[in-house]
């Protein structure tokens, strides 16, 4: 298996689960995914979690840690899940992946007090989305 390859051939379960997440307008939770794919033959939590783990690993989806939910990656630059940033609306729970060259660059180069750099990061912003601000 060529690790450099960008196109991963998803297996049946991975494809079913990725398609569901990809079509969704908001992040999906593991058990909600499970209920939605039971008619397609995926019966157990573990089948879902295994597919999710793999999809996260190859960067097709991201986990929103503060929500225990999963969202498809629509950011062509993050084929791997190593540098992620999201905005989360605290009212409607809308989540948007942020793709800002400035932000990525700043964080990728950030060094702590000891001068250490880190290989991955995950950033979650919270506040109100445009819609909810206007209400």
- Among 35-43, 78-86, 88-96, 116-124, the segment contacting DNA (CB under 7 A): 35-43
> Among candidates 102, 107, 127, which has minimal Cα distance to 119?
107
> What Cα–Cα distance (Å) separates residue 12 from each residue in 42, 51, 82?
10, 10, 25
Q: Which two three-digit tokens encode residue 41?
A: 């033959």
Q: Is 12 in the site for DNA (CB under 7 A)?
A: yes
130 binds, among a second copy, DNA, none (CB under 5 to 8 A by kind): a second copy
Q: Which residues bind a second copy (CB under 8 A)?
A: 65-66, 87, 96, 98, 100, 103, 106-107, 110, 112-114, 116-130, 133
Name the minimum Å distance from CB 66 to DNA. 10
> Among candidates 94, 101, 39, 90, which has minimal Cα distance to 71?
94
19, 22, 24, 30: which one contacts DNA (CB under 7 A)?
A: 30
Residues 78-117 that bind DNA (CB under 7 A): none
CA 122 to chain centroid: 10
């Amino acid at each position: 298996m060529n690790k450099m390859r960008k196109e991963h051939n998803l297996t049946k379960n991975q494809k079913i689960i990725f398609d569901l997440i990809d079509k969704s307008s908001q992040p999906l939770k593991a058990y909600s995914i499970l209920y939605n794919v039971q008619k397609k033959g995926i019966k157990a939590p573990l089948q879902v979690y295994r597919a999710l783990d793999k999809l996260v690993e190859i960067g097709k989806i991201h986990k929103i840690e503060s929500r225990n939910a999963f969202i498809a990656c629509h950011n062509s630059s993050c084929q791997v899940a190593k540098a992620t940033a999201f905005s989360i609306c605290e009212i409607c729970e809308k989540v948007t992946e942020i793709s800002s060259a400035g932000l990525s660059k700043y964080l990728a180069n950030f060094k702590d007090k000891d001068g250490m750099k880190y290989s991955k990061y995950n950033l979650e912003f919270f506040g109100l989305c445009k819609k909810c601000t206007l209400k």
